[in-house]
Structure 1
Amino acid sequence: MFSFFLRRFVWSGYRAIIYNSNSVLKNWCYYIIMIRSMTAFARRDMKKTWGTATWELRSVNQRYLETDISLPEPFRRLEPTIRDRIRTFLTRGKVSCNLCVNVNRQSVLILNEKLTKKLIKAAQWVKMQSNEGEIDPLAILGWPGVIAATEQDIDTDTMSAELLSCLDATLYDLIRTRETEGIALKTIIEQRLAGISAEVTKVRQQMPDILAWQKNKLLGKLEEAQVRLDNHRQEQELVILAQRVDVAEELERLEAHIQETYHILTNQNAVGRRLDFMMQEFYRESNTLASKSINVSVTASAIELKVLIEQMREQIQNIE
């Protein structure tokens, strides 16, 4: 039976991994699921009485979880166990798992007792016939087939348990690397969110002046065309214009998306897909803002928003 057993549950925002006394952590290990990158590499070497082994784990971004496991022939039976163990720890990414094992095989000498007895009996008969010479044990041992060398069988069950324990440690290293990379990705995303918030604030502050400028522009064109409108009709035209260029709703939704994205970044589960969805919402509002733009400054802000959103999207592609 393998030394490792694993159970997961969610409790007060924590996900607990329970190891028994033979596991790599030797005790209960609680860890908070944080933002993780899907790109990481981990390697562990182990040295035992039977030889040496090396685990290598490499992960890259992938929409779903995909595992590629390469094992030496004597340990192919471990593939389902390894695949399940990887799925327990990871939810997204293409993971390559490679195991290299070098066994210290010892040769064992096996004596062919049946042949040896026949040779001794034959040597004794020859001596009796001639009454000369002695039986040379080394000569008998040197006879072809008397002694054969064979490699000692290895205990694959014991080796498998030790290899899986080392795999646990390697997976732990991979997760730590993914989390370290995830912290950097989170920082980049938060910086871009701050940039989007600044652009939203800029547009909001400019809108009263922009609407007043557009109103004066409309009235000026009417005056140039010598078109006279009664006050009621003029008010209607101004209301229609204001509705056509008003971006208050878009700005409010952008602010809501910013807050929701910040909230997702503090979530204790895999958040990559949710962030993908939020980027679609950001794109939708920025496109609407650009289509309603009647001012060079608003157009510039809309373009800057798209640049910031695209930069976020590129980073989010690598988040688990």
Structure 2
Amino acid sequence: MTASMTGFAAHSLTLDHASVGIDLRSVNQRFLELHFRLADEFRSLEPQLRDLINRRLARGKVECRISLNLLPAATLDNGLNPAILERLSHWQADVLQRLPNSAPLSVNEILRWPGAVQTATLSQDALNEATLEGMQAALDELIESRQREGGKLKRHILDRLDAAEAQVAGLQPLLPALAAAQRDKLAERLRDALGETGHERLAQEVALAAQKADVDEELSRLATHFAEVRRVLDQTGAIGKRLDFLMQELHREANTLGSKSVALETSRISLELKVLIEQMREQVQNIE
């Protein structure tokens, strides 16, 4: 499926004592550019997270945020820590012996001492494993989001492509009459300038002008490029760069068509083609 480089995914997972939030955002970028904003517990995972994204995405600027929130159950009273209490008691006795006038520790101070109240602990290995699995799920959501957006872009491009092909198809049957009118107009001007004695020169000039104004080759290349755009849009994977190149080629042919124009109708169609091609090009910039 055609995929956009723009997408968003938000995935969360709940463990025994914590919840993990994973947010992925992607926007247009010529290449794949990754940015991470990770809670301290996940810093060591960045190389693995980077590898996961590299394997799933080809282009786009991607921002990955992973947060960790302890659940209320993790901070409930799980009893006092005997080792900490023993250490505090020893330290307090030593201080009071050296400084008899010192105030003893209050119950509130003891309870606030780091580690004095035992809380639930998280296994870092289990946390890492769950986070990597959650990242895969978040990437699935991001890719689905980019594909939905890509489907809209494809429809937009195909609509403009249909209109461009209709313009070319409408011009084809007009070419013989436009060329004949141009030859007659040029021949009349040359006869006025050369008189009746310049028949050979007249024929040469008319033939040369007709050759310069011939747009069959440009119309043929436009048709070829139109067909290639359709073919590429039906492919999977990263197709944006190929489409961008084709838009450049289409614009070049439309410009040449305009420069060779010998009639108002040809100039109008050249301008209309350039407008449609530019509209397609703007959407192509969003495609992976």
Q: TM-score scaled to structure 2, two decimals?
A: 0.85
- CA gap of 1:305–1:44, structure 2 versus 1, over 3 A, is same
Give secondary structure in 2 for the equivalent of 1:57.
Answer: strand
Aligned-pair distance for 1:235? 2.7
- Map 1:1-320; keep pairs closer than 5 Å: 34-104=1-71, 105-106=74-75, 108=78, 109-112=80-83, 148-225=116-193, 227-229=195-197, 231-320=199-288
Q: Which amino acid aligns with 1:75?
A: F
Is 202-211 or 305-314 further displaced after alignment?
202-211
Q: Which amino acid aligns with 1:213?
A: A
Give secondary structure in 1 for the equivalent of 2:117.
Answer: strand
User: Greater strand share, 1 or 2?
Assistant: 1
- CA gap of 1:114–1:56, structure 2 versus 1, over 3 A, is closer
Give me the whole-angstrom Cα distance separating, in 2, the residues matched to 1:268 and 1:149.
56
| Contact preservation (8 Å) 2:191, 2:198 | no
Aligned-pair distance for 1:260? 0.8
Which structure would you say has the larger RCO, counting Cα contacts within 8 Å and 6 or more residues apart? Answer: 2
Give me the whole-angstrom Cα distance separating, in 2, the residues matched to 1:87 and 1:214.
58
Give me the whole-angstrom Cα distance separating, in 2, the residues matched to 1:115 and 1:275.
70
Give me the whole-angstrom Cα distance separating, in 1, the residues matched to 2:133 and 2:225.
43
Aligned-pair distance for 1:219? 2.0
Aligned-pair distance for 1:202? 1.8
Is 175-184 or 193-202 further displaced after alignment?
193-202
Aligned-pair distance for 1:174? 0.5
| Contact preservation (8 Å) 1:35, 1:265 | yes
Give me the whole-angstrom Cα distance separating, in 2, the residues matched to 1:39 and 1:298.
38
Aligned-pair distance for 1:225? 3.3
- CA gap of 1:221–1:77, structure 2 versus 1, over 3 A, is same
Give secondary structure in 2 for the equivalent of 1:154.
Answer: coil
Give me the whole-angstrom Cα distance separating, in 1, the residues matched to 2:56 and 2:231.
23
Q: Which amino acid aligns with 1:39?
A: T
Give me the whole-angstrom Cα distance separating, in 2, the residues matched to 1:174 and 1:143.
48
Give me the whole-angstrom Cα distance separating, in 2, the residues matched to 1:243 and 1:175.
51
Give secondary structure in 1 for the equivalent of 2:4.
Answer: coil
**RMSD after superposition:** 2.5
Q: Deviations over 1:129-150 (max 9, x none)?
A: xxxxxxxxxxxxx799799324
- CA gap of 1:229–1:94, structure 2 versus 1, over 3 A, is farther
- CA gap of 1:103–1:222, structure 2 versus 1, over 3 A, is same
Q: Which amino acid aligns with 1:87?
A: N
- CA gap of 1:157–1:143, structure 2 versus 1, over 3 A, is closer
Q: Which amino acid aligns with 1:224?
A: D
Aligned-pair distance for 1:223? 3.4
Q: Deviations over 1:228-278 (max 9, x none)?
A: 255544332221011110100000000000011111111122100000110
| Contact preservation (8 Å) 2:4, 2:287 | yes
- CA gap of 1:143–1:102, structure 2 versus 1, over 3 A, is closer
User: Greater helix share, 1 or 2?
Assistant: 2
Q: Which amino acid aligns with 1:219?
A: A
| Contact preservation (8 Å) 1:222, 1:228 | no
